[in-house]
Structure 1
Amino acid sequence: MAPRARRARSGYWLLAIPTVAPLLTPLYDRADPMVWGIPFFYWYQMACIALAIAVLTGVHLANRDPGR
């Protein structure tokens, strides 16, 4: 396998993080602590969205074709 192909696939395991984080419901099934009046349950889910955007962007930038 070429070094470029191995390097390109190396970051795909990071995609498991935003997939698993929202599935850990027992960790965030509570109201406290509140941030700006928003219960933890809701701001954790919003943080998961931001995490997913960051991870997907990072994986995409690391694996994009430099010729494009």
Structure 2
Amino acid sequence: MADAELYAALGQLKLSYRECIVLQKIEGYSIKETAEILTCTEVQVRNHTERGMKALQKLLGGEIDEIG
């Protein structure tokens, strides 16, 4: 998968999903750190990351193993 394809798909996600995925999967922040940065709860971060990854996988036709 090309970086351009990944970033195009990320751009189609809800902002909250995109922020969580970028901070955790690309930048390497923990759930706790991500929650602090986004001023939300760790549960919200977990949910947004999981939902965002599912949506991203759908956008990429199921072709997503690992980001970052």
Pick the TM interval, shorter chain.
0.3 to 0.5
TM-score (norm 2): 0.44
TM-score (norm 1): 0.44
